[in-house]
Amino acid sequence: MAKITYIAFDGTEYVVEAKDGSTVMENAVRNAVPGIEAECGGACACATCHVYVDPAWVEATGEPEPMEEDMLDFAHDVQPTSRLSCQIRVSPALDGLVVRVPESQG
C-alpha cells in the first residue's frame, strides 16, 4: 500500500490509499479525482491522465519510457516533471507520493 496525494488544479487535495501494482491513474479514477480523464483506459494512448510529479518524487517515479514521452506530445502545458499517471505503478517506495493535476486535459 502507498498513500498518494492528488492536488487538483483548484488546490483541493485528495488523499488515497493505493494498492501495490495498481497505477496512479486507476486510483485517481476510482476516487473521482477531477481532471484525470483516462479516455483510453490506461493504454498509454491518449495523454488525458497527465500529471505533474512533485519534484521530491521525480527520482522515485523514474523517467518516462519513449512511448510515454511520445504520448506526452499530445498533452498540454508539459513540464519537466510531467508524466502519464497510467504509466506510474504503485509500490511501497511511492508511499507519500504527491502529484498535481493540470488545469485542463484538452
Partner 1 sequence: MSETIETDVVIVGAGPVGLFAVFELGLLDVRCHLIDILDKPGGQCAELYPEKPIYDIPGFPIITGQGLTDNLLAQIKPFSPTFHLGEMVVSLERLEDGRFRVQTDAETVFLTKVIVIAAGGGSFQPKRPPVPGIEAFEGRSVFYSVRKMDAFRDHDILIVGGGDSALDWTLNLQPIARSVTLMHRRDAFRAAPDSVNKMRALAEEGKLNLVFGQVTGLKGGDGLIEAVEIIDNDDKTHHLPATRLLPFFGLTMKLGPIADWGLNLHENLITVDTEKFQTSEPGIFSIGDINWYPGKLKLILSGFHEAALMAQAASRIVFPDKKVLFQYTTSSTSLQKKLGVA
**Which residue ranges make up the site for partner 1 (CB under 8 A)?**
39-40, 43, 45-48, 69-70, 72-74, 76-78, 103-104, 106
Min separation Cβ 6 and partner 1, Å: 19
User: Residue 2 belongs to what H/E stretch?
Assistant: strand 2-7
To partner 1, the closest distance from the beta carbon of 37 in angstroms equals 9
With respect to partner 1, which residue has the nearer C-beta, 14 or 74? Answer: 74
Which is nearer to partner 1, 17 or 65 (by Cβ)? 65
Least distance in angstroms from the C-beta of 15 to partner 1: 27
Burial class (CB within 10 angstroms; exposed 0-12, middle 13-18, buried 19+) of 92: exposed
Pair type for strands 2-7 and 82-84: unpaired
